[in-house]
């Protein structure tokens, strides 16, 4: 269900990374339902094509496969997209991966994988947007964070570090881009029922999963719950909101 005007993003172009599944896919779909043009970023071209096939067809949407490895490559990729498709009016950087692993078993290779998409990718996107002829003045940037950035949980040390890095980037970047009225915010999500969530809970057992769900006052969330927050932050409704992290967690953090 679309709770927003079906033309509130008309005439605007948005880059969504991680658009092949889960939260990224749901957000791309809602942007298109609001008449926005979507550039679909992600590693898997076939799944990106499947996402595009589901989108509102009032405007043409673009496939842009990309595998985040470092900030330099991400910056050049975004600059190339703007050169080909015009100024970006907003970005939702949803790409990332998960890891549950005790710190004693976490190695450099695990850190590399986690930081590449979430942090290095976000930094590269930010660097591109800070340059001329990439983002429009007044554009909006939304980065994906997690409640793990502010709550302690065994096995989540490396993952929490990436999300804390994202939120630090948001605060500093909001200051740096304010002269162009480019807003920068993050969304800290709780447990959302996606393929990633399924992988994380698969081996937990029914009792542990039920207890985890009870820790969310409103139960587990759906991708659409985050997508609704994304649209608010991308749209003019959030014109006076920047440098913040919005909790979309079903009440997890207040427990």
Alpha-carbon span 24 to 97, nearest angstrom: 12
User: Which sign does the torsion angle of CA 91, 184, 242, 94 carry?
Assistant: positive
Percent of the chain at pLDDT > 90 equals 85
The strands making up 245-248's β-sheet, listed across from edge to edge, are 62-65, 37-42, 13-17, 88-93, 135-146, 183-189, 245-248
Residue 102 within a domain: yes
User: What pLDDT, on the 0 to 100 scale, is given for residue 165?
Assistant: 97
Residue 96 within a domain: yes
- Please compute the mean of the pLDDT values over residues 123-130 and round it to a whole number: 97
Alpha-carbon span 7 to 31, nearest angstrom: 10
**CATH number of the domain bearing residue 229:** 3.40.50.720
Angstrom CA distances, 116 to 25, 79, 109, 113, stand at: 20, 18, 11, 5
Alpha-carbon span 71 to 119, nearest angstrom: 8
User: What pLDDT, on the 0 to 100 scale, is given for residue 99?
Assistant: 81
Query: Which pLDDT band holds residue 153 (cuts at 50, 70, 90)?
Result: confident
Residue 70 within a domain: yes
Q: How many CB atoms lie within 10 A of CB 15?
A: 28
Retrieve residue 183's tokens: 């807003």
Residues designated as active site: 159
Residue 199 within a domain: yes
How many residues in the chain? Answer: 255
- Please compute the mean of the pLDDT values over residues 106-112 and round it to a whole number: 95
Residue 3 within a domain: no
Q: Is the pLDDT of residue 204 over 80?
A: no
Question: What's the burial of 29, exposed, middle or buried (CB within 10 Å: 0-12/13-18/19+)?
Answer: buried
Residue 22 within a domain: yes
Which domain covers residue 233, as residue numbers?
13-248
Alpha-carbon span 96 to 58, nearest angstrom: 29
Alpha-carbon span 243 to 141, nearest angstrom: 10
pLDDT digits (tens, 9 = 90+) for 211-242: 888 989 999 999 999 999 999 999 999 999 99
Residue 7 within a domain: no
pLDDT digits (tens, 9 = 90+) for 129-144: 999 999 999 999 999 9
User: What pLDDT, on the 0 to 100 scale, is given for residue 201?
Assistant: 67
Residue 100 within a domain: yes
Q: Is the pLDDT of residue 200 over 70?
A: no
| Count of domains observed in the chain | 1
pLDDT digits (tens, 9 = 90+) for 7-61: 999 999 999 999 999 999 999 999 999 999 999 999 999 999 999 999 999 999 9
């Amino acid at each position: 269900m679309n709770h927003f005007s079906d033309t509130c993003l008309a005439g605007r172009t948005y880059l969504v990374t991680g658009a092949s599944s889960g939260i990224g896919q749901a957000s791309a779909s809602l942007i298109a339902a609001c008449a926005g043009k979507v550039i679909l970023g992600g590693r898997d071209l076939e799944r990106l094509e499947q996402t595009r096939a589901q989108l509102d067809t009032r405007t043409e949407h673009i496939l842009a496969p990309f595998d985040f490895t470092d900030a330099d490559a991400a910056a050049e990729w975004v600059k190339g997209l703007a050169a080909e498709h015009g100024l970006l009016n907003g970005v939702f950087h949803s790409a990332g991966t998960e890891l549950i692993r005790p710190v004693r078993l976490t190695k450099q290779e695990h850190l590399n994988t986690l930081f590449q998409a979430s942090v290095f990718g976000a930094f590269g996107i930010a660097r591109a947007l800070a340059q001329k002829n990439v983002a429009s003045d007044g554009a909006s940037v939304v980065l994906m964070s997690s409640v793990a950035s502010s709550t302690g949980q065994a096995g989540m040390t490396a993952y929490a570090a990436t999300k804390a890095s994202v939120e630090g980037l948001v605060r500093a970047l909001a200051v740096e881009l304010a002269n162009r009225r480019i807003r920068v915010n993050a969304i800290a999500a709780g447990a959302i029922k996606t393929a990633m969530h399924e992988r994380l809970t698969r081996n937990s057992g029914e009792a542990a999963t039920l207890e985890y769900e009870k820790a969310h006052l409103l139960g587990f969330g759906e991708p659409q719950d985050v997508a609704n927050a994304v649209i608010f932050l991308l749209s003019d409704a959030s014109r006076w909101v920047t440098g913040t992290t919005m909790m979309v967690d079903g009440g997890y953090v207040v427990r």
